[in-house]
Amino acid sequence: MVVLIADEDFLEFGLRDAYLSFNESSHQFLEIQGLSSSGPTSQLMFKLGLAVWCGFVGAFFTFPGLRYARMHWDSFKYCEGQPFL
Protein backbone atom coordinates (compact mmCIF):
# COMPACT_ATOMS: atom_id res chain seq x y z
CA MET A 1 0.00 0.00 0.00
CA VAL A 2 2.95 2.31 0.53
CA VAL A 3 3.77 2.06 -3.17
CA LEU A 4 0.34 3.45 -4.03
CA ILE A 5 0.74 6.59 -1.92
CA ALA A 6 4.49 7.17 -2.36
CA ASP A 7 5.71 9.93 -4.63
CA GLU A 8 6.99 8.81 -8.03
CA ASP A 9 10.33 10.57 -7.50
CA PHE A 10 10.91 8.54 -4.32
CA LEU A 11 10.61 5.24 -6.20
CA GLU A 12 12.66 6.34 -9.22
CA PHE A 13 16.14 4.82 -9.26
CA GLY A 14 17.34 5.80 -12.74
CA LEU A 15 16.28 2.78 -14.77
CA ARG A 16 15.07 4.86 -17.73
CA ASP A 17 18.28 6.89 -17.97
CA ALA A 18 20.41 3.76 -17.63
CA TYR A 19 18.42 1.99 -20.33
CA LEU A 20 18.69 4.93 -22.74
CA SER A 21 22.45 5.12 -22.18
CA PHE A 22 22.82 1.37 -22.70
CA ASN A 23 20.66 1.45 -25.83
CA GLU A 24 22.67 4.30 -27.35
CA SER A 25 26.06 2.72 -26.64
CA SER A 26 24.94 -0.70 -27.89
CA HIS A 27 23.61 0.90 -31.09
CA GLN A 28 26.98 2.56 -31.68
CA PHE A 29 28.80 -0.72 -30.97
CA LEU A 30 26.59 -2.63 -33.42
CA GLU A 31 27.20 0.01 -36.11
CA ILE A 32 30.97 -0.29 -35.63
CA GLN A 33 30.69 -4.07 -36.00
CA GLY A 34 28.80 -3.63 -39.27
CA LEU A 35 25.37 -4.72 -38.05
CA SER A 36 22.37 -2.55 -38.75
CA SER A 37 20.10 -2.64 -35.74
CA SER A 38 18.13 -0.08 -33.78
CA GLY A 39 19.32 -1.53 -30.49
CA PRO A 40 18.99 -4.63 -28.37
CA THR A 41 15.30 -4.36 -27.43
CA SER A 42 12.52 -1.96 -26.57
CA GLN A 43 12.15 -0.49 -23.11
CA LEU A 44 8.90 -2.39 -22.56
CA MET A 45 10.59 -5.73 -23.29
CA PHE A 46 13.48 -4.76 -21.03
CA LYS A 47 11.09 -4.04 -18.16
CA LEU A 48 9.17 -7.25 -18.85
CA GLY A 49 12.40 -9.26 -18.79
CA LEU A 50 13.45 -7.54 -15.58
CA ALA A 51 10.08 -8.33 -13.98
CA VAL A 52 10.28 -12.00 -15.02
CA TRP A 53 13.84 -12.26 -13.71
CA CYS A 54 12.86 -10.71 -10.37
CA GLY A 55 9.90 -13.08 -10.19
CA PHE A 56 12.15 -16.11 -10.64
CA VAL A 57 14.64 -14.88 -8.05
CA GLY A 58 11.81 -14.17 -5.62
CA ALA A 59 10.36 -17.63 -6.19
CA PHE A 60 13.72 -19.29 -5.61
CA PHE A 61 14.02 -17.57 -2.24
CA THR A 62 10.36 -17.64 -1.15
CA PHE A 63 9.19 -21.17 -1.81
CA PRO A 64 12.01 -22.98 0.04
CA GLY A 65 11.40 -20.67 2.99
CA LEU A 66 7.69 -21.47 2.97
CA ARG A 67 8.44 -25.18 2.77
CA TYR A 68 10.85 -24.93 5.70
CA ALA A 69 8.28 -22.98 7.73
CA ARG A 70 5.63 -25.62 7.02
CA MET A 71 8.03 -28.38 8.10
CA HIS A 72 8.79 -26.45 11.30
CA TRP A 73 5.07 -26.02 12.03
CA ASP A 74 4.43 -29.73 11.40
CA SER A 75 7.24 -30.70 13.78
CA PHE A 76 5.64 -28.57 16.52
CA LYS A 77 2.29 -30.23 15.93
CA TYR A 78 3.89 -33.69 15.97
CA CYS A 79 5.73 -33.07 19.26
CA GLU A 80 2.82 -31.33 21.00
CA GLY A 81 2.41 -32.50 24.58
CA GLN A 82 5.81 -34.20 24.76
CA PRO A 83 8.38 -32.75 27.16
CA PHE A 84 11.75 -31.56 25.93
CA LEU A 85 14.61 -34.02 26.21
Summarised one tens digit per residue, pLDDT across range 68-83 is 999 999 998 898 888 7
pTM: 0.55
Query: What are the pLDDT digits (tens) for 6-52?
Result: 766 776 778 888 888 888 888 888 888 888 776 667 888 888 888 89
Q: Report residue 57's pLDDT band, with 50, 70 and 90 as the boundaries.
A: very high
pLDDT at 40: 66
Distance from the Cα of residue 79 to its chain's centroid: 38
CB atoms within 10 A of CB 31: 11
Q: How far apart are the C-alpha atoms of 68 and 75, rounded to whole Å?
A: 11
Q: How far apart are the C-alpha atoms of 20 and 3, rounded to whole Å?
A: 25
Closest CA to 16 of 36, 38, 44: 44
